[in-house]
Structure 1
Amino acid sequence: MIDPVNFGIKGLSEQEVLAARKTHGKNTLDYKQQHKFIDALKDILQEPMVLLLSIASGIYFLTGNIGDGIFLASAIVLVASISFYQESKSRNALEKLKNITQPKAKVIRDGELKEIQTHDLVIGDSVMVEEGTIIPADGVIIHSNDFSVNESLLTGESMAVFKDAQSEKNKCYTGTMVASGLAIATITAIGNATALGKIGKSLESIQEEKTPLELQIASFVKKMSIVGGITFLFVWGINYYNTLNLLESLLKALTLAMSILPEEIPVAFTTFMALGSWRLMKLGIVVKQIKTVESLGSATVICIDKTGTITQNKMSLVKLYLFKSDQIVPIPEKTNLLEEELITAAMWSSEPIPFDPMEIALHETYSKIIPVDERQAYKMVHEYPLGGKPPMMTHLFENQQGERIIAAKGAPEAFFPISNLKDTEKGKIQKAITILGDQGYRLLGVGTAKFIGTDYPETQQEFLFDFLGLVAFYDPPKKNIGAVLKEFDRAGITVKLITGDTATTASAIAKEVNFIGYEKGMTGTELMQLDDKQLQEKVKDIQVFSRMFPDAKLRIINALKANNEVVAMIGDGVNDGPALKAAHFGIAMGTKGTEIAKEAASLILVDDDLSKMIDSIAMGRKIYSNLKKAIQYIISIHIPIILTVFIPLALGWAFPNIFSPTHVILLELIMGPTCSIIYENEPLEKNTMLQKPRLLTTTFFNLKELLTSIIQGLAITVGTLSIYQYGIAQNFTEDTTRTMVFLVLIAANIFLTLINRSFYYSLYTTLKYKNNLVPLIIAITVVITASLLFIPPFTHFFQFSSLSFEQLFLSMLTGFISVIWFEIVKWNTRKKTNNTTI
């Protein structure tokens, strides 16, 4: 590879960098002043539960119940602290994600090419940008090869604009994307002083769309809040009618409203998404939008590229096809004239500063094999970027003596109509293409042309080329790719290969890695001849798509989506951008991927390892499953609290106000952490990756799952109210009855937590799951409950009483029985699926 320093670019010294940074600051866009503490405090004070607690606390103070008022005020502080903790965990996870996704920039400093964070760029730096990257700061171009930029972010114009140092269009701007070529630019503006920075205020008004799951959860919470509000007014009205005591009746109504409000659900959702993203980041997967984490497990089709995904993207030039002698030869240590001519022409057809792996391999081979290096003697005078179908590119070089080199490379078929080739000669070339393609080599045709004058043709296809031969590159498959493909198959996910390579090369590599359906192929040309309906049928069976270009890739994605598939697309190049954007999940390679690909994608595989996609899909399924368990737990445990408060009140039982707001908030504080702490930390169940992906259109809860939670809640309610009536029948005091009912709820909570860790496997199996938080949270719950029962000040404050051994045992047994019946349901489910694992 040619050193940029050979172009006379030394860049800034470290002292100059420090001085520039001191004067102009960092290359960051800063607009909205964020007051994280104040914003978080505002959000917490607006939470319905905090408002209800505040009202109830105020009423206790007004009625002289100072102890209860202080307790509820303390509960507000505790709830706020938990919310702050959850919010800070989410924010820290997001900050770490932001640091990971911070793009890098190549800069020349002290005569060396270095890679740094974009925010470390300073005015005066010499930055190198190439195809697929996002320009990190405003600058003036001082060198370029075939350089064009998409400036739609600033201008709205989607067509790429060609730029070079000599023309009026010699400036590049932050945030715009390099569509082709390479350039070196001197930075003239950074941060808010850039063109993007000056219009950046508009970016603050962009609102994020909510995901389908987020909308479903918000709708559920809203409905529960409405039910709570209506019930609150109803109970307040009845109590006021009976007692004519405004504050007391308001307090009873608030008790019920607190029991109905499912404030844990949005907290659980946020916690699961943020921590899920953080866990994925530790695995080497960056999720750009944390709200999409739960959706990952629903992918039904994954479209993957060959180069860098199945293969290692370590291109090496391994063979040559010499057209003039009709020979296929390995790369020699010493070249003859024909070999030298082909390698030299292939190098001249590449960029002077190569960045594509194949061009780098050509430059390296030229450096090793060709005796006299002439690269410094020639200067590029004209170029034709990669284009046409099949694609090719052409470069024109000239030395001081006026000697000219015109060299082109591209798809071998691209040369057939623009070279003086007879049909027999085309047949020989086609035979060589088949032989090399069958061995999995990636092929480029190479040709040269002659032209006098400077009135160059408008297109490269107007030259008459002398076809010299083929250069064959080998990119070995990744060692783990076969196992990864098997894992996708086991998870019920179809994998489709979409590549720009020839059909023979694509099929050979697919066969080598045991790719399912490697024999079922289609080219881009064949694909474009089909209408949308025909393509929708074809994509069901075709697994290998070769000679693909951006429009063809996009049509494949859209056809799969039209078939109601949930599509993930993996890509790394500029031409993958549209397909990455169109797919449900665009996945970019972190190391070899272009910035354009990363910008279009919703996930980034940091180390380009496809096996991490298995991890991300498993994580997505786990998060979705565990979030569902948490919310089912919340529904189940809220029902007995609601009914235990409401039924005695509505039916006028002996102790109508068995629970006060103090008791309800105590239950909430004990039970609340279970859903978001224990369930978020649950491991992946062993049958999760053997299930078919769920459809994105699937509602969060189906009727059966919702009924399960409701029935579990009603069963616990039967237990609590049975103990309630037992206490009345035994002439127990109100405090003793309250204590026993409270204990039933606590015991049911503990056993429900354990039983609902799986809705399929038995308690015996789930107790073996590794989750260190389960024994910790249960131990804390037991200690708190024991303190309430056996430490007199606590017992007196909460209007409890000490229980006899029989009362204690009966309460715990009732709580156990009210949930353990579900083990029979799970056993019956396993029996139906002929699964003997317990």
Structure 2
Amino acid sequence: MDIDKTSPQGLTTQQARELAQTYGKNVLAQKKKQSLFLKFLHTVCEPMFLLLLAASIVYFILGEPRDGAIMLVFVAAMIGIDAFQEHKTDKTLAALRDLSAPQIRVIRDGREQSIPSEDLVPGDLMLIWEGLKIPADGVLLRASDLCIDESSLTGEAEAIWKSPDAPASQDHWRRNYCYAGTLVLSGSGMVRVEKTGQHSEYGKIGASLEKAPEKRTLLQTQTDRLVKTCAIIAICLLLLVGIITYCSLPGLSFQDRLIQSILSGITLAMATIPEEFPVVLTVFLSMGAWRLAKKHSLVRNLSSIETLGAITTLCVDKTGTLTQNQMSVERSWVAPGKA
């Protein structure tokens, strides 16, 4: 059907059902979550964790199970910290996704009714009013003193007065059009839904963010380089000390000389590996994430804290990012006898 020619009676239940099968739910597609095992595997594959695991294995080989167990405890603790931080951030972001209106008034089957906002389909006649966060994009058909805050999309603090009689335009942010994710400050109106879910302007922004490639931070790059350097030095010392030890024990059998040379090489090589570094690094980054959380800032990746601390200039949008674009009452005065 042609959604641009919706009847004043609205869609029928059958039409809405068919359109829902075509366009899907009015929800933003969420990135598929990694399983707990994949998260664990991703964390363990970091060079610093591989360094600690290698150190623990060597300690067990050398007959030092206590030191090896301590290394494994450190690894488990750091994995737990990373998992907890990621879980807390994901939980907060999931709550932010639920800010859209759970119910919306529409005209269907010739009568006004309330439906879940996720059931909106293109062609629906949607009613909007003061205080509502609009759940879909659409053309404004009727308005009464309608003023909308579009700062969540544009970053502009100034509210937009909407009118169905505004000149038609294909530009973004037109005055005869309403957008998902924006807030109705005053007035009311009727909107014919055109775009839902990922097809809305709000959904396109979310989709572009999901596709953004994740680059390794400066800290991760530097720690990778440090681990590689330590590994090369350790291998060189292992070979050098092993050869020297083997040559300095001519009186022993071949098997005893080989064992002694390997153990001596491993022992000295272990001394060059900074096992404490990843532990200290994780602890201090976690402290930074905790301090930022007290300032109402979310940290999705602990390594990004070091990158943030190294910047000299930070360019951000003000409205909706640093400020809420809302006024709050700090103090009130009431005349005597009027309270």
Shift of 1:11: 11
Q: Secondary structure at the match of 2:135?
A: coil
Q: Tell which has more relative contact order, 1 or 2 (C-alpha 8 A, sep 6+).
A: 2
* Paired residues of 1:129 and 1:135 also in contact (CA < 8 A): no
Shift of 1:276: 3.9
1:328-355 per-position Cα deviation (integer Å, ceiling 9, x unaligned): xxxxxxxxxxxxxxxxxxxxxxxxxxxx
The 3 A distance-change label for structure 1 pair 48 and 149 is closer
2:241 maps to which residue? 239
**Counterpart-to-counterpart distance in 2, 1:129 and 1:258:** 64
Shift of 1:262: 0.7
- Unaligned stretches of 5+ residues in structure 2: 1-7, 108-114, 170-175, 247-257, 331-339
Matches of residues 407-422 of structure 1 in structure 2 within 5 Å? none
1:41 maps to which residue? 40
2:84 maps to which residue? 89
**Counterpart-to-counterpart distance in 2, 1:172 and 1:110:** 15
**Counterpart-to-counterpart distance in 1, 2:136 and 2:185:** 16
**Counterpart-to-counterpart distance in 1, 2:297 and 2:58:** 46
* Paired residues of 1:10 and 1:108 also in contact (CA < 8 A): no
**Counterpart-to-counterpart distance in 2, 1:294 and 1:219:** 14
**Counterpart-to-counterpart distance in 2, 1:231 and 1:276:** 37
The 3 A distance-change label for structure 1 pair 35 and 75 is farther
Shift of 1:46: 1.8
* Paired residues of 2:133 and 2:180 also in contact (CA < 8 A): yes
* Paired residues of 1:135 and 1:174 also in contact (CA < 8 A): yes
1:162-182 per-position Cα deviation (integer Å, ceiling 9, x unaligned): 864456565434357889986
Whichever of the two has the greater Rg, that structure is 1
Q: Does 1:287 align with 2:293?
A: no
1:586 maps to which residue? 322
1:570-593 per-position Cα deviation (integer Å, ceiling 9, x unaligned): xxxxxxx96548xxx81326xx46
**Counterpart-to-counterpart distance in 2, 1:98 and 1:288:** 9
**What is the identity, as a one-letter code, of the residue corresponding to 1:232?**
A
Counterpart pick for 1:251 among 247, 260, 266: 266
Counterpart pick for 2:283 among 264, 268, 271: 268
2:212 maps to which residue? 206
Shift of 1:263: 0.3
Shift of 1:37: 1.9
Q: Does 1:172 align with 2:178?
A: yes
2:197 maps to which residue? 191
**Counterpart-to-counterpart distance in 2, 1:134 and 1:110:** 15
**Counterpart-to-counterpart distance in 2, 1:44 and 1:294:** 17
Q: Secondary structure at the match of 2:323?
A: strand
Q: Secondary structure at the match of 1:586?
A: coil
- The alignment of Structure 1 onto Structure 2 pairs a total of residues equal to 284
Compute the TM-score of the two structures, normalised by the length of structure 2: 0.54
The 3 A distance-change label for structure 1 pair 149 and 50 is closer
**Counterpart-to-counterpart distance in 1, 2:298 and 2:53:** 38
**Counterpart-to-counterpart distance in 2, 1:58 and 1:209:** 31
1:770-790 per-position Cα deviation (integer Å, ceiling 9, x unaligned): xxxxxxxxxxxxxxxxxxxxx
**What is the identity, as a one-letter code, of the residue corresponding to 1:81?**
A
User: Kindly, what percent of the aligned residue pairs are identical?
Assistant: 21
* Paired residues of 2:134 and 2:182 also in contact (CA < 8 A): yes
The 3 A distance-change label for structure 1 pair 97 and 240 is same
**Counterpart-to-counterpart distance in 1, 2:291 and 2:67:** 34
**Counterpart-to-counterpart distance in 2, 1:45 and 1:80:** 8
**Counterpart-to-counterpart distance in 2, 1:173 and 1:609:** 29
* Paired residues of 1:224 and 1:261 also in contact (CA < 8 A): no
2:31 maps to which residue? 32
* Paired residues of 1:142 and 1:186 also in contact (CA < 8 A): yes
1:126 maps to which residue? 126
**Counterpart-to-counterpart distance in 2, 1:85 and 1:119:** 37
Shift of 1:153: 6.5
Q: Secondary structure at the match of 1:142?
A: strand
2:251 maps to which residue? none
**Counterpart-to-counterpart distance in 2, 1:269 and 1:183:** 52
Q: Secondary structure at the match of 2:32?
A: coil
Shift of 1:230: 6.0
**Counterpart-to-counterpart distance in 1, 2:277 and 2:229:** 11
Shift of 1:291: 7.7
**Counterpart-to-counterpart distance in 2, 1:139 and 1:11:** 14
Shift of 1:93: 2.0
**What is the identity, as a one-letter code, of the residue corresponding to 1:586?**
L
The 3 A distance-change label for structure 1 pair 130 and 226 is farther
2:137 maps to which residue? 138
Matches of residues 529-540 of structure 1 in structure 2 within 5 Å? none
* Paired residues of 1:26 and 1:191 also in contact (CA < 8 A): yes
The 3 A distance-change label for structure 1 pair 168 and 110 is closer
Shift of 1:53: 4.5
Shift of 1:205: 3.3
* Paired residues of 1:147 and 1:183 also in contact (CA < 8 A): no
1:375-419 per-position Cα deviation (integer Å, ceiling 9, x unaligned): xxxxxxxxxxxxxxxxxxxxxxxxxxxxxxxxxxxxxxxxxxxxx
Matches of residues 92-491 of structure 1 in structure 2 within 5 Å? 92-102=87-97, 103-105=99-101, 109=105, 122-123=120-121, 124=124, 126=126, 128=128, 135-144=134-143, 145=145, 164-165=163-164, 168=168, 170-174=176-180, 183-194=189-200, 197=203, 201-206=207-212, 221=223, 225=227, 228-229=230-231, 231-233=233-235, 235-244=237-246, 245=258, 247-259=262-274, 262-276=277-291, 278=293, 280=294, 286-287=296-297
Matches of residues 347-746 of structure 1 in structure 2 within 5 Å? 579-580=318-319, 586-588=322-324, 592=326
Shift of 1:239: 1.7
The 3 A distance-change label for structure 1 pair 152 and 60 is closer
* Paired residues of 2:137 and 2:195 also in contact (CA < 8 A): yes
* Paired residues of 1:56 and 1:254 also in contact (CA < 8 A): no
The 3 A distance-change label for structure 1 pair 181 and 235 is farther
Q: Secondary structure at the match of 1:263?
A: helix
Shift of 1:187: 4.0
- Unaligned stretches of 5+ residues in structure 1: 1-8, 155-159, 299-563, 568-576, 594-607, 611-838
**What is the identity, as a one-letter code, of the residue corresponding to 2:126?**
S
* Paired residues of 1:90 and 1:270 also in contact (CA < 8 A): no
* Paired residues of 1:28 and 1:190 also in contact (CA < 8 A): yes
* Paired residues of 1:58 and 1:69 also in contact (CA < 8 A): no
Shift of 1:256: 1.9
**What is the identity, as a one-letter code, of the residue corresponding to 2:210?**
E
1:543-596 per-position Cα deviation (integer Å, ceiling 9, x unaligned): xxxxxxxxxxxxxxxxxxxxx9x99xxxxxxxxx96548xxx81326xx46xxx
Aligned-residue CA RMSD (Å): 5.9
The 3 A distance-change label for structure 1 pair 222 and 264 is same
**Counterpart-to-counterpart distance in 2, 1:288 and 1:58:** 36
**What is the identity, as a one-letter code, of the residue corresponding to 1:90?**
Q
Shift of 1:255: 1.9
Shift of 1:235: 3.5
Compute the TM-score of the two structures, normalised by the length of structure 1: 0.26
